[in-house]
């Protein structure tokens, strides 16, 4: 029995630090947090759970931040990850992706005690510099309990304001576990103001006039347009002007003017909405357009950063679009039906080419990666999975093949955040994100099917253990592993230079049984597919089981490692005499 003078939890006059953290998180409207638990944060996690917040345990600190990132993209809300003291460095890669991808994520970490600096104490780590190297918007270190609500609110404000991104805050363990005099909280106040800037009216008129004067305009929707909540305005602007969209990131769904393909140099004028100005030639992130560019972005520094633009409008994308809609109502736009037909023809030509590749190699063993991609796309369309499911892909070769088939078949994102992968983070660093982000996306849409039509056998290794998280959460999921037993894009260049017998570090163990590994992690083992004619039946079977059992089902498909897709920008060194020249897309 506790004595009357012992500290008690839930005392509004003397709250514990972890209670102040929980209070602040709840005040920000957070409904779900992701974590890798540890001693410094267990009381915080328990308090959040007791107060109705969903606490999802990931299998690593990086997995927790990736889940928070996927949750934010898919829900449109801020993502929150909480990790214990000393381990935030494991999450660095995921923080970097949230930062560069402009995804609002708040990462909260424990820290060593305020009195233990330089004593080489357990989990002692100066975490702020590490966070800053991940390009976070802010990095705070809390050493005074009274400042917890203020500084944590600052972190939420930074993550969600302007150019969104990751915000980092760590709190010393002794501060989390000590009581605070509530009367001193008023000395450190703050608030969040929902203030968003409009664009320059003169530039609005100039931009609308330029669009209306073009015969072949296009709209490209970037990450920050989605984050600004501009889906309604994008659709209204498209309806008023009749201008097609080549990348809508789920803001248009199945709208007839959603082309779902890259237009490239065919467009005379491009309206970029919330699109980062990034990349350099010949990298694939470089600007693909050669026409005039109108850039709408919330930060002036970004406009024209890596390539020139013709009209730059600084402002919140949603607010600027509202201005452009009013201006567009005063202007007569031409009939773009011929231009739209040209884009449809371009897409149909791409489809014919890719289908032709599969027809030429439909019976190949090992299975041609294009055959697998076509099967997963056609299966998805036949079952209308793309209309509602949460989706993710991860990998180099397999994501490329899936993307070109989905694009050429005109498969759109049906809602913002439907797909979480490296492509939904405009400046994502690399592969390995898919499973972690999928955990978060499924928490944003509980009960929906998770469809992963392309998960490379290299990529799955990064966060394989998150399959256990998906199983623990009872997520109905159909996951297709494209298993070519190698690092496909890397090996392609290795083979081009040195021939197929040079496999230094490029190859993995042949035909790993990932479906059995998944079964050991609580998922259901789907089929191990080596015959091209068995792909469809394996997908059908797995789909039914996933829906019936509310569990992830993993299908393992053996694909050919000796297939080129496209020559990549880093193919710069000349080939040796034993090298195998690039023979064309889809060829060995």
Domain presence at residue 576: no
More confident residue, 570 or 310: 310
542-553 residues labelled b (16+ CB within 10 A) or e (exposed): bbebbeeeebbb
Domain presence at residue 585: no
CB atoms closer than 10 angstroms to residue 35 = 25
Domain presence at residue 581: no
Mean pLDDT of the 198-202 span = 97
Domain presence at residue 389: yes
Across 199-213, 424-438, 476-490, least confident range: 424-438
378-411 pLDDT tens trace: 999 999 999 999 999 999 899 999 999 999 999 9
- Residue 419: phi and psi, rounded to 5, are -110, 125
Three-state DSSP class for residue 391:
strand
**CA 208/CA 328 separation, integer angstroms:** 6
What would you report as the CA-atom Rg of the chain, rounded to the nearest whole angstrom? 25
Three-state DSSP class for residue 414:
coil
Q: Which domain range does residue 540 map to? A: 363-558
Same domain, 136 and 260: no
Q: What is residue 342's predicted lDDT score, i.e. its pLDDT?
A: 95
How sure is the predictor about 290, in pLDDT bands with cuts at 50, 70 and 90?
confident
Domain presence at residue 579: no
First to last CA, the chain: 75
The answer to whether the CB of 55 falls within 8 A of the CB of 48 is yes
How sure is the predictor about 2, in pLDDT bands with cuts at 50, 70 and 90?
very low
Strand partners, 391: 419, 451
Domain presence at residue 322: yes
| Domain-ending residue, one of 119, 153, 187 | 187
Same domain, 537 and 396: yes
pLDDT value at 503 more than 90: no
The answer to whether the CB of 274 falls within 8 A of the CB of 228 is yes
At 384, list the tokens: 């209308």
Mean pLDDT of the 556-583 span = 88
CB atoms closer than 10 angstroms to residue 239 = 12
The answer to whether the CB of 350 falls within 8 A of the CB of 408 is yes
Same domain, 142 and 267: no
Same domain, 289 and 182: no
In the chain, the number of structural domains is 3
Same domain, 392 and 450: yes
75-99 pLDDT tens trace: 999 999 999 998 999 999 999 999 9
pLDDT value at 281 more than 80: no
Number of helices and strands in the chain (H, E): 19, 16
CATH number at residue 460: 3.40.50.970
260-273 pLDDT tens trace: 887 777 899 999 99
| Domain-ending residue, one of 284, 319, 335 | 335
Quote the percentage of the chain above a pLDDT of 70: 97
Same domain, 157 and 270: no
Quote the percentage of the chain above a pLDDT of 90: 81
Domain presence at residue 345: no
Same domain, 519 and 473: yes
pLDDT value at 4 more than 60: no
Same domain, 516 and 400: yes
Q: What is the 3-state secondary structure (H, E, C) of 311-366?
A: EEEECCHHHHHHHHHHHHCCCCCCCCHHHHHHHHHHHHHHHHHHHHHHHHCCCCCC
pLDDT value at 284 more than 70: no
- Say how many residues make up the chain: 588
**CA 108/CA 110 separation, integer angstroms:** 7
How sure is the predictor about 1, in pLDDT bands with cuts at 50, 70 and 90?
very low
Peptide bond into 366 cis (omega under 30): yes
**CA 142/CA 173 separation, integer angstroms:** 10
Same domain, 174 and 277: no
Same domain, 395 and 484: yes
| Domain-ending residue, one of 157, 187, 217 | 187
**CA 265/CA 272 separation, integer angstroms:** 14
Same domain, 72 and 213: no
Across 176-190, 277-291, 499-513, least confident range: 277-291
How sure is the predictor about 280, in pLDDT bands with cuts at 50, 70 and 90?
low
Interacting residues of 42 by C-beta distance below 8 A, sequence separation 6+? none
pLDDT value at 69 more than 80: yes
pLDDT value at 282 more than 60: no
How sure is the predictor about 7, in pLDDT bands with cuts at 50, 70 and 90?
low
Domain presence at residue 549: yes
Same domain, 441 and 305: no
Q: What is residue 285's predicted lDDT score, i.e. its pLDDT?
A: 63
């Amino acid at each position: 029995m506790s004595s009357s003078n012992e500290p008690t939890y839930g005392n509004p006059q003397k709250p514990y630090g972890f209670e102040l953290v929980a209070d602040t998180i709840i005040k920000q409207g957070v409904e779900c947090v992701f974590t890798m638990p540890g001693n410094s944060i267990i009381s915080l996690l328990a308090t959040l759970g007791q107060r109705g917040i969903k606490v999802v345990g990931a299998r690593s600190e990086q997995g927790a931040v990736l889940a928070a990132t996927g949750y934010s993209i898919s829900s449109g809300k801020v993502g929150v990850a909480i990790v214990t003291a000393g381990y935030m460095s494991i999450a660095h890669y995921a923080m970097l992706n949230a930062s560069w991808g402009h995804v609002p994520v708040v990462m909260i970490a424990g820290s060593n005690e305020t009195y233990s600096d330089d004593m080489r104490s357990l989990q002692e780590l100066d975490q702020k510099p590490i966070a800053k190297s991940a390009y976070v918007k802010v990095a705070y270190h809390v050493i005074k309990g009274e400042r917890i609500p203020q500084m944590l609110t600052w972190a939420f404000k930074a993550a969600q304001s302007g150019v969104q991104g990751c915000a980092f805050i760590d709190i010393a363990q002794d501060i989390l576990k000590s009581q605070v005099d509530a009367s001193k909280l008023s000395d450190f106040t703050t608030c969040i103001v929902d203030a968003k800037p409009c664009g320059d009216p003169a530039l609005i008129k100039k931009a609308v006039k330029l669009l209306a004067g073009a015969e072949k305009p296009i709209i490209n929707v970037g990450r920050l347009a989605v984050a600004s909540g501009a889906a309604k305005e994008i659709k209204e602007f498209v309806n008023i002007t009749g201008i097609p969209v080549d990348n809508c990131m789920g803001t248009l769904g199945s709208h007839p003017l959603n082309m779902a393909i890259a237009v490239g140099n065919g467009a005379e004028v491009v309206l970029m909405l919330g699109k980062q100005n990034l990349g350099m030639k010949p990298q694939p992130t470089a600007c693909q357009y050669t026409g005039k560019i109108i850039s709408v972005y919330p930060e002036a520094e970004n406009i024209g950063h890596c390539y020139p633009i013709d009209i730059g409008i600084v402002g919140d994308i949603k607010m600027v679009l509202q201005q452009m809609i009013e201006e567009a109502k005063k202007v007569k736009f031409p009939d773009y039906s011929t231009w739209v037909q040209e884009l449809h023809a371009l897409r149909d030509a791409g489809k014919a080419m890719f289908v032709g590749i599969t027809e030429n190699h439909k019976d190949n063993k090992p299975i041609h990666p294009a055959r697998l991609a076509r099967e997963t796309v056609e299966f998805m369309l036949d079952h209308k999975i793309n209309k509602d499911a949460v989706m993710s892909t991860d990998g180099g070769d397999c994501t490329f093949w899936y993307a070109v088939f989905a694009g050429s078949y005109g498969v759109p994102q049906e809602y913002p955040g439907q797909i979480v992968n490296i492509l939904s983070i405009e400046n994502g660093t690399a592969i390995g994100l898919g499973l972690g982000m999928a955990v978060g996306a499924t928490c944003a849409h509980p009960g929906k099917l998770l469809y992963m039509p392309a998960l490379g056998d290299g990529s799955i290794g990064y966060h394989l253990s998150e399959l256990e998280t998906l199983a623990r959460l009872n997520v109905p999921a159909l996951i297709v592993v494209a298993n070519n037993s190698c690092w496909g894009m890397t090996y392609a260049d290795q083979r081009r230079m040195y021939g197929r017998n040079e496999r230094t570090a490029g190859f993995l163990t042949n035909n790993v049984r990932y479906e059995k590994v998944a079964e050991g992690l609580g998922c259901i083992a789907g089929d191990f597919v080596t015959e091209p004619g068995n792909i469809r039946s394996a997908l059908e079977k797995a789909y039914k089981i996933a829906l019936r059992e509310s569990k992830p089902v993993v299908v393992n498909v053996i694909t050919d490692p000796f297939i080129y897709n496209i020559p990549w920008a880093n193919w710069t060194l000349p080939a040796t005499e034993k090298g195998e020249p690039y023979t064309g897309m889809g060829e060995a």
